[in-house]
Amino acid sequence: MKENIASDSVAEPGVEETKVGMVDLANALDNEGMVEFTRSFVKDLEKGIGHATPEHFPWMKAIESTQWDGILCLGMGGSAASGDFVAALASIHGNLPIIIQRDYVIPSWWKPSWLVLSTSHSGNTEEALEATETALKSGATAIIISTGGILSGLPEVYPSCFLIPSVGGQPPRTAFGHIFSRQLGLLRSIGVLPQPREGADAAMFARLQAACEGFDILNDPEGDVAQLALCMLERPIALLGPTELQPALNRFKNQLNENAARFARIGVIPEMNHNESVAWGGVGSDQDASGIDHVLLLLTWQGIHRQVGKRMDWMVAHAATDFAWKIAGEGNTLLESLLHLCILMDWISIALAFLHGKDPAAIGPISALKGHLESVQ
């Protein structure tokens, strides 16, 4: 089992030609600037956190002074992903539960004592719209994060609804930095998540920016990220990690789905050790139906529980595939580790898209489904 990104095992027929052509592939396929959106991720984070403060939105002070039972996050797809991240942070060091709802409806247990945080990049996501209006009509206090659309107009209709504008002009999954940073800034400002010590964010952003530049597949078209993408090119993909890194696992899967049009399976440790471990050690455990080995990526971080670390080491020793890597999210905090992994995974998914000859921005099936829903009343 390999335990780092670089590996001699990825060399295959045609690889040398593909590696040399990564820049050419990007020039031919990146029609909507996905590379540049990925390069701006850290700056998006920094600007968004600084924007979502009581100095810009005085109504946050009233939100902070209210005793909430929890936060209900409404949203779908890339707009909902940031809710997973703040929920993971709240589980580690928050003072309220954060629950994510990806649907047209709100939970039956919901009460107005739960603050609603509704996110839609476009402002027209029909599931988020219906669930938000249902909550508002039931007496909710709701905070909207959006670039516009119908959702952004709800504060004009409902006095208990407030807006934090986000930045548009790009696909929702590339706007994660804009959206997550506004959610993080908001939850820090109203006391749900702790404020960092002075200078901590700036130092974190500097490290993340260095990582982003180091992973850049056009700066290093034959580097570790491109090598790993090449290994994943014709093999099924499996992603494993601890519970607190599940948001990064989910985002990686979703980025592979949308950017590279690839499936990926997820296993969360320790839960998967009570069921899926049997499949990994069973008949054909390391292969798909065609007999091809899985690529197995195990995500970890500095704060992993000692027993979960032992379980992951066991998986490294006993999963039979020859194409496996342990990848650590760098940083002393869960926040930084999650963001570090996001950056790496975004670059991998874009590299894989280019190697498959796909524009990473193209999402034809999603657009077709939306068109169908609009035509069928």
Provide DSSP, 336-348.
Answer: HHHHHHHHHHHHH
Number of other CB atoms surrounding residue 178 within 10 Å: 25
Confidence (pLDDT) at 14: 41
Q: Dmax of the chain from CA atoms?
A: 63
Confidence (pLDDT) at 287: 54
Asked whether residue 188 carries a pLDDT value surpassing 50, the answer given is yes
Confidence (pLDDT) at 1: 32
**What mean pLDDT do residues 345-369 have?**
88
Higher pLDDT, 287 or 13: 287
Sequence letter at residue 26: A
Separation in Å, CA 249 to CA 26, 142, 233? 25, 28, 19
Is the CATH code 3.40.50.10490 the one for domain 39-189? yes
Provide DSSP, 16-32.
Answer: HHHHHTHHHHHHHH-TT
Confidence (pLDDT) at 369: 66
Q: What does the mean pLDDT of the chain come to?
A: 90
All CATH 3.40.50.10490 domain ranges in the chain, comma separated: 8-31+211-355, 39-189
Task: Give tens-digit pLDDT for 37-59.
Answer: 999 999 999 999 999 999 999 99
Residue 266 burial by Cβ neighbours in a 10 Å radius (0-12, 13-18, 19+): middle
**What mean pLDDT do residues 84-102 have?**
97
Confidence (pLDDT) at 148: 96
287: helix, strand or coil: strand
Confidence (pLDDT) at 300: 97
Task: Give tens-digit pLDDT for 206-239.
Answer: 999 999 999 999 999 999 999 999 999 999 999 9
Confidence (pLDDT) at 59: 97
Q: Work out the pLDDT band at 374, boundaries 50, 70, 90.
A: confident
- Among 237, 246, 196, 256, smallest CA distance to 324 is for 237
- CATH class label, 8-31+211-355: alpha beta
Confidence (pLDDT) at 180: 97
Asked whether residue 186 carries a pLDDT value surpassing 90, the answer given is yes
Confidence (pLDDT) at 20: 46
Is it true that the peptide bond before 194 is cis, omega within 30 degrees of 0?
A: no
Asked whether residue 101 carries a pLDDT value surpassing 80, the answer given is yes
Instruction: List, in sequence order, every beta strand (DSSP E) within the chain.
Output: 70-74, 98-101, 114-120, 142-146, 161-165, 237-242, 265-269, 295-301, 323-329
Q: What does pTM read for this prediction?
A: 0.90
Higher pLDDT, 46 or 78: 46
**What mean pLDDT do residues 299-306 have?**
96
Cα–Cα distance for residue pair 203/241, rounded to 1 Å: 26
- Percent of the chain scored above 90 by pLDDT? 78
Confidence (pLDDT) at 366: 65
Beta bridge partners of 324: 296
